[in-house]
Structure 1
Amino acid sequence: MSLASVKEHFKQFERDNSILQFEASSATVEQAADVLNVIPARIAKTLSFRATDDGALLVVTAGDAKIDNTKFRAQFGVKARMLAAEEVVAQTGHVIGGVCPFGLANDLPIYLDISMNRFTTVFPACGSSNSAIELSCEELERYSNATAWVDICKGWE
């Protein structure tokens, strides 16, 4: 699934040719920033959390932001518990290092953190550990069909 499902997702917006693929890994924020020659904060990282006993939710944040557990609990009513690697694949269809809010295996709620709003464009992954796409925050919201913008991070202010 992964990169192919993301390309298929972007076809509806005529943006499938905008996906960047690299020889080097872009699996971590630091690796992605290096390969793209941007500051790490501009990497839009997608984090997978347990929403209920069998459900999940995705949060996309700036690369330098950290989840604030108090804000997370206030927003979602549950403790911030990240999914295990096998659960991430089962829920998203993407492996860790390529997780993104596009071309998902399941219809998951997607939340965008305000930490990204300080940038004109950000770079989310595209389903593989060596891909990304440059999007404005408005495009990220539209293409991901985000549920809402949230303020659940710290360390980026």
Structure 2
Amino acid sequence: MSRLTHASTATPALRVLSLAGVDYTVHEYDHDPRARRYGSEASEKLGVDPQRVFKTLHILVDGEPVNALVPVSGQLDLKALASVAGGKKATLAGVAEAERRTGYVSGGMSPFGQRVTLPAFIDESAAQHETVFVSAGRRGLEIEIRPHDLFMLTNAGVKRIAQLD
């Protein structure tokens, strides 16, 4: 893997990865502003299996914010997430709340470089791949990274939290 750090693509997420010294690759594609399924768009435009592209979701577990990363080919299992996070109920945070708390726009939410470090949970299916993709902090920009590095840098709990298609 290599690193790509063009000034035009420097996001907080890429700065975190550069400082951490892990290997990663940045992939850029032309985002269609009409697209509403951002992860699926990334998968299609990059020609990557949707099981390897992970969306970062901002979730409230018993009212406390957490990040949940699941493949775009599946859905977050809210009950499973609440259980692994030690709570009773998980709900999706509103878009405005998620953007305010993370500092990223919807569809460009990276698990790295958020305004506040939150507990993170990643679906265990990520470990099945040599590399996975997550947002680099803006629509049309993805990070390819080894799952171990993703787990380590997010200090994530790695459990089954997705219902895979």
SS of residue paired to 1:127:
strand
> What is the aligned partner in structure 1 of residue 72 from structure 2?
63
5+ unaligned residues in a row in structure 1: which ranges? none
> What is the aligned partner in structure 2 of residue 37 from structure 1?
47
1:88 pairs with 2:95 = no
- TM-score where L is the length of structure 1: 0.85
Identify which of 115, 126, 139 aligns with 1:129. Answer: 139
Deviations 1:96-122 (A, max 9, x none): 101121011011111111122222111
CA distance in 2, matches of 1:155, 1:105: 30
Computed over aligned residues only, the root mean square deviation of the Cα atoms, in angstroms, reads 2.3
Query: If each structure's strand is expressed as a fraction of its own residues, which one has the higher value?
Result: 2
> What is the aligned partner in structure 2 of residue 138 from structure 1?
148
Aligned length: 153
5+ unaligned residues in a row in structure 2: which ranges? 1-8
- TM-score where L is the length of structure 2: 0.81
SS of residue paired to 2:158:
strand
Deviations 1:12-63 (A, max 9, x none): 134698322222348612210112111211111111101343x310011122
Identify which of 102, 105, 126 aligns with 2:112. Answer: 102
> What is the aligned partner in structure 2 of residue 149 from structure 1?
158
Residue 73 of structure 2 aligns with an amino acid whose one-letter code is D
Deviations 1:48-102 (A, max 9, x none): 101343x310011122222223322322313221111111112111111011210
1:7 pairs with 2:17 = no
SS of residue paired to 1:100:
coil
Identify which of 25, 28, 44 aligns with 1:21. Answer: 28
